[in-house]
Amino acid sequence: MMMRTMRGAGLLGLASRVAGTKGFSTEIFVSKLSFYTTEEELKNIFSPFGAIEEARLMRDNQTGRPKGFGFVKYSSQVAAEKAVKAMDGRIIRGRIIFVETAKERDTG
């Protein structure tokens, strides 16, 4: 009986997580960027696909230099989808970039 209760609780947790997930986010993850790419340049590259709320590059905490990846947040899901489809595998500053939907961060 105790085992069944634990299993049921696990399934309930999984079901709530699945029900709470969105099909597509308004935020995209961009990787393999040149270390010389600026946030302004990132915003300009992705702006043809829709209104951008934020473009940010992840930086090394000690040096402040970009790590070669970042996030672009659009005001609509449609714009984010267009950007992923159009930009994934494109060459920017001599490098092939990868673009995908940003995954939600696990808070647990």
In angstroms, the CA 61 to CA 55 distance is 18
pTM of the model: 0.75
What is the helix (H) or strand (E) element at residue 7, kind and residue range?
helix 2-20
pLDDT tens digits, residue range 48-100? 999 999 999 999 999 999 999 999 999 999 999 999 999 999 999 999 999 99
Q: What is the mean pLDDT of residues 41-46?
A: 97
Q: Which pLDDT value is given to residue 79?
A: 98
Domains of the chain, each with CATH number or no CATH: 23-101 (3.30.70.330)
Rounded (10°) angle between helices 39-46 and 77-87:
100
